[in-house]
Amino acid sequence: MGWFGKIAGGTIGFIIGGPLGAAGGAYLGHKFLDNGQKLTSHEEIQANYFVALFSMLGKIAKSDGVVSQSEINAIDELIKTRLKLNREQREFAIKIFNESKNSSYSFNDFAENFYRINSNEPNMLIFMLNTLFEVAKADGILHENEESLLINAKNIFRISDYDYDNIKQQHFPEIKSNRYYSVLNSKASDSNDTIKSNYRKLVQDFHPDKIANKGLPEELQEYSKRKFQEIQDAYDYIKQERNF
């Protein structure tokens, strides 16, 4: 996270509590930086993803009235295992999370800002929605208020109902096999040819080399590797189930 060292520590609270929801990326990209340093375009993408992620997670966690221990554990797992943040970065992430819970800016403010910055990167938007679902499912229940915010994100991100339902099915599957079909953007009623076609498209979209070449955040590159393996596992399961 090369961008992290460039942000002026004394202004972090202002970034979180003030201009983020209203002005967004311009403030992270061109202001409040130490020693006149500037973020590169890739660093700006990474910084905005990081701040938007933990801001929206704070709103999601608070949406059912209380931040549960399971949700705190899910955030901690995200920070330590998936993002592998150092101590200073963890403190920054937790500060964003805590500040956002009581921020005057709404979940939609954060989501709309994120969309403005990433409207040309549909994979980035899908990654974000997936991560929000991961925290929402931490206590094993998709609460009504949580799903309302997730649907808001889906609409703001211009994600189709079909793709949203597939993501939801992956995190809250009714039966085991449904999850594998959802991973492949498919249904059990689809033909073998349709499933194969969907699989080939997903392999192309989520290949780690393709993600890396876009200069997306490091955590997204790691996510793409796991997603790519998940796609392979789902395809192998369905191939065996259908014997094709």
Tell me the per-residue pLDDT of 154-179, one tens digit each, with 9 for 90 and over.
Answer: 999 999 888 888 888 888 876 667 77
Q: What is the pTM of this model?
A: 0.66
Alpha helices by DSSP H, the chain: 12-17, 19-22, 25-30, 41-62, 69-77, 87-101, 107-118, 122-136, 144-156, 161-171, 176-183, 192-206, 208-213, 218-242
Residue 20 has pLDDT above 60, yes or no: no
Question: What is the average per-residue pLDDT within 102-113?
Answer: 83
Structure confidence by residue, pLDDT tens digits, 173-202: 766 677 788 888 888 888 999 999 999 988
Which domains, ranges and CATH numbers included, belong to the chain? 4-172 (no CATH), 180-244 (1.10.287)
